[in-house]
Amino acid sequence: MARAATGISNSGHQRMQRYSFFGLARHAASFHEHWQRAWRNPVMKPGYDVIIVGGGGHGLATAYYLAKNHGVRNVAVVEKGYLGGGNTARNTTIVRSNYLWDAAAHLYEFSLKLWEGLSQELNFNLMFSQRGVLNLGHSLQEMRDIERRVTANRLNGIDGEVLTTREVKALVPLINDSPAIRYPVLGASWQPRGGTARHDALAWGYARAADNLGVDLIQQTEVTGLRIEGGVVTGVETTRGPIHARKVACVAAGNSGVLAAMAGLRLPIESHPLQALVSEPIKPVLDCVVMSNAVHAYISQSDKGDLVIGAGIDSYNGYGQRGSLPVVEHCLGAIVELFPAFSRVRMNRNWGGIVDTCPDASPIIGTTPVEGLFFNCGWGTGGFKATPGSGYVFADTVANGRPHPLAAPFSLERFHTGALIDEHGAAGVAH
Amino acid sequence: MLRIHCPYCCEDRAEEEFVYAGEAGITRPLAPEQLDDAAWGDYLFFRTNPRGAHQEMWFHASGCRRYFKVLRDTVTYALAASCRMDESLPLPAVDVLP
């Protein structure tokens, strides 16, 4: 291991030291003082083949797949803050693929399949845990919608079952199954392959693997303008000076609209605060993910023991990375009704992220009227689960200059053709 | 928590009394059948989503039950002005987009 770490790879930098049990033991013997940096802190070059704007999970995944699948290694990821510091660090880490419409189901299921081998591929423990995801139904109409969605999922080869109240109670003994509560649990959809993952690890894993393939990760550098000449993108302006590029790929979540405006484009996106909170750590009490669209609450328990709780979006537009307390109050009211045992649990932290929501609750992936400029945005409340698939299809789109077949339905043009992918039912708010 | 000034009730009230109703100043085309797909899509789906001053509509659901316009900063969330639907907000002279 140590010898391998000193080798120089053909991309001119130190080869990635693989993480393993034996490596851990070896480093323990030297008091963990000689671990290799997970990635370099490179000096910005004057130009690249591809610049990716935004160093969150999606941007880093795009960089990794560009280098790995398409041999495009002269790539920079330009991040205004630090890697994975935006919505990647702010979500509630739920992974699932039970979306209604074919286009969305195929994209999210493709992503879930990538998740299943990703820890091994990246040599980074993503703590991906397929503990199962429950989506509760609280009314007859919601149960009908759940039956429709599960049937559609199964036709698309996605696992799913419709559970009764009794079966939900058997899975989650703590849940309040009384028919007398305001929103009684009438049943649920159940996706056993869904679950949770470590959100930071996803960004770090992709960053480390991309860096190993020669991608430059440029942090603390904000893109302040796009260079466009004659309808062709030629680079970006940053707070550390201009960078030349043949292609620019924007993956900036809530700030996508600001970037689009730099190119004179408009996106059908509105940015909203989405809040989440974690409790103090408690003993293991909840071994799957429980979500409810109707009451705008979802909950899981992390490996540390914290209850990770997500609320709905704030209705108003905002870039402030914080929301209003009434939304949190509404969410916690619903959680306490569903789980009376949690009423005395204290909350440790509450935060907000800025989600870029599209009118049809589906993302925008693809080309733009500006040649060489690509956008991947509009993931709204549900981007985390899609990170691997998003990066994979977006890298393909950027490398070949045309949409990947899975990404084709998610073009910007759909808002003019009317071919929307309405996932409010499956995406809704709950993530 | 926002405290929103209702121009009809003439007082600041808590955000929970109100319902957000989207960007203000979007006029429904008078003859939709004469629009092409691009113009109709723009009307339906495209909003300004500025980082800064934003003119928006709120509905006083638990009060006078009337719609009105608000000028709010989307970064600081500070509310600069409210007015009735038939009035104009004092929009900032310069575009606040970076």
What are the tens digits of pLDDT across the range B32-58? 999 999 999 999 999 999 999 999 999
CA distance A87 to chain B (A): 16
Q: Which domain holds residue A333?
A: 125-195+270-357
Give the pLDDT confidence score for residue A8 in this predicted structure: 39
Number of structural domains chain A divides into? 1
Query: pLDDT tens digits, chain A, 431 residues: what are they?
Result: 343 433 334 444 567 889 999 999 999 999 999 999 999 999 999 999 999 999 999 999 999 999 999 999 999 999 999 999 999 999 999 999 999 999 999 999 999 999 999 999 999 999 999 999 999 999 999 999 999 999 999 999 999 999 999 999 999 999 999 999 999 999 999 999 999 999 999 999 999 999 999 999 999 999 999 999 999 999 999 999 999 999 999 999 888 999 999 999 999 999 999 999 999 999 999 999 999 988 888 999 999 999 999 998 999 999 988 889 999 999 999 999 999 999 999 999 999 999 999 999 999 999 999 999 999 999 998 899 999 999 999 999 999 999 999 999 999 999 999 999 998 876 644 44
Using CB atoms and an 8 Å cut-off, which of residues 37-76 of chain B contact chain A?
Answer: 37-38, 41-42, 44-47, 49, 51, 54, 56, 72, 74-76
Structural domains of chain B, with CATH: 3-84 (3.30.2270.10)
Mean pLDDT of chain B: 91
Convert chain A into a string of H (helix), E (strand) and C (coil). CHHHHHCECCCCCECCCCCCHHHHHHHHHCCCCCCCCCCCCCCCCCEEEEEEECCCHHHHHHHHHHHHHHCCCCEEEECCCCCCCCHHHCCCCEECCCCCCHHHHHHHHHHHHHHHHHHHHHCCCCCCECCCEEEEECCHHHHHHHHHHHHHHHHCCCCCEEEEHHHHHHHCCCCCCCCCCCCCCCEEEEECCCEECCHHHHHHHHHHHHHHCCCEEECCCCEEEEEEECCEEEEEEECCCCEEEEEEEECCHHHHHHHHHHCCCCCCCEEEEEEEEEECCCCCCCCCEEEECCCCEEEEECCCCCEEEEEEECCCCCCCCCCCHHHHHHHHHHHHHHCHHHHHCCEEEEEEEEEEECCCCCCEEEECCCECEEEEECCCCCCHHHHHHHHHHHHHHHHHCCCCCCCHHHCCCHHHHCCCCCCCCCCCCCC
Cross-chain residue pair A268–B46, CB shorter than 8 Å: yes
- Does the CB of A317 have a partner CB in chain B at under 8 Å? yes
Chain A environment of B42 (Cβ under 8 Å): 266, 416
Report which secondary-structure segment, H or E, holds B86: none
Give the pLDDT confidence score for residue B90 in this predicted structure: 86
- Residue A7, beta-bridge partner list: none
CB within 8 A of A318, min separation 6: which ones? A271, A272, A273, A354, B74, B75, B77
- Does the CB of A359 have a partner CB in chain B at under 8 Å? yes
Name residue, tokens 């004659």: A230
CA end-to-end distance (rounded Å), chain A: 40
Cross-chain residue pair B74–A418, CB shorter than 8 Å: no
In a domain, A164, yes or no: yes
- Residue A218, beta-bridge partner list: A78
CA distance A68 to chain B (A): 35
CA distance B84 to chain A (A): 19
Angle formed by the axes of helices A199-212 and A387-400, nearest 10°? 30
pLDDT band at B96 (very low <50, low <70, confident <90, very high): very low
CA distance A285 to chain B (A): 32
CA distance B65 to chain A (A): 18
Nearest CA in chain A to B2: A324
> Among partner residues A258, A359, A418, which is closest to B98 by beta-carbon distance?
A258
Chain B environment of A326 (Cβ under 8 Å): 1, 15-16
Cross-chain residue pair B49–A416, CB shorter than 8 Å: no
The size of chain B, in residues, is: 98
- Does the CB of B3 have a partner CB in chain A at under 8 Å? no
The CATH code of the domain that includes A162 is 3.30.9.10
Cross-chain residue pair A266–B16, CB shorter than 8 Å: no
Give the pLDDT confidence score for residue A13 in this predicted structure: 56
In a domain, A4, yes or no: no
Residue A150 near residue A161 (C-beta atoms within 8 A):
yes
In a domain, A276, yes or no: yes
Angstrom distance (rounded) from CA A175 to CA A190? 15
CA distance A224 to chain B (A): 8
Nearest CA in chain A to B14: A326
Burial call B81-90: b when 16+ CB within 10 Å, e when fewer:
bbbeeeeebe
Smallest Cα–Cα separation from A288: which of A188, A208, A207, A411?
A188
In a domain, A253, yes or no: no
- A176: tokens are 């309040």
Phi–psi pair at A61, nearest 5 degrees:
-65, -40
Give the pLDDT confidence score for residue A297 in this predicted structure: 87
In a domain, A367, yes or no: no
- Does the CB of A325 have a partner CB in chain B at under 8 Å? yes
Angstrom distance (rounded) from CA A277 to CA A263? 36
Burial status of residue A413 (CB atoms within 10 A of its CB: 0-12, 13-18, 19 or more): middle
